[in-house]
């Protein structure tokens, strides 16, 4: 199992998604008076001048999504004996990862504001977004590795 390159790529994707669980800031919005920092644990509101810090909402759904996603990647990695299931799971893994990154891009690009009644004046992406973006090619390479193995097994089945 470890001699196949897609296993290494799956491990890298799992490590990158699990690193988001450390509380990295994904993006930060400001409305002039307050900063709103988003991580997988929720939204943290802080005064621009550095005053108090307050947790606005506890979004356990993002936290649970990351945990379920890591388990899905692990399931895809461990399905190496059934190549058709591994291929379909790796396509699902890549699609969900791409959807997650595009959703974060849409929120930060359009300034979707669910935190403040004022207009958002500044949006900054955090280190968590860059870490997420770095994991996207590894999910693609894992799919290509599984696809290559599937092609190899299909050609061997034709020879029999």
- CATH number assigned to the domain comprising residue 24: 1.20.140
Q: Does residue 158 belong to any structural domain of this protein? A: no
* Residue 1, pLDDT score: 56
User: Which tokens go with 24?
Assistant: 């990295």
* Residue 33, pLDDT score: 78
pLDDT band at 113 (very low <50, low <70, confident <90, very high): low
Q: Does residue 118 belong to any structural domain of this protein? A: yes
What is the spatial distance between Cα 35 and Cα 24, in angstroms, rounded to a whole number?
16
Interhelix angle 5-20/127-159, nearest 10 degrees = 160
User: Which tokens go with 140?
Assistant: 């693609």
pLDDT band at 76 (very low <50, low <70, confident <90, very high): very high
What is the spatial distance between Cα 75 and Cα 115, in angstroms, rounded to a whole number?
36
CB of 129 within 8 A of CB of 26? yes
Of 13-27, 77-91, 103-117, 146-160, give the lowest mean pLDDT range.
Answer: 103-117
Q: Does residue 160 belong to any structural domain of this protein? A: no
Structural domain count of the chain: 1
């Amino acid at each position: 199992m470890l001699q196949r390159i897609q296993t290494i790529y799956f491990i890298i994707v799992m490590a990158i998604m699990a690193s988001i669980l450390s509380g990295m800031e994904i993006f930060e919005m400001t409305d002039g008076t307050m900063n709103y920092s988003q991580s997988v644990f929720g939204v943290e509101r802080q005064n621009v001048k550095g005053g108090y810090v307050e947790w606005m909402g506890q979004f356990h759904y993002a936290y649970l999504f990351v945990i379920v996603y890591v388990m899905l990647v692990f399931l895809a990695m461990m399905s190496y004996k059934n190549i058709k299931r591994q291929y379909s799971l790796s396509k699902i893994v890549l699609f969900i990862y791409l959807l997650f990154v595009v959703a974060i891009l849409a929120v930060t690009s359009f300034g979707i504001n669910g935190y403040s009644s004022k207009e958002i004046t500044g949006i900054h992406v955090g280190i968590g977004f860059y870490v997420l973006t770095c994991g996207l090619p590894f999910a693609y390479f894992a799919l290509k590795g599984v696809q290559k193995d599937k092609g190899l097994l299909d050609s061997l089945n034709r020879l029999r």
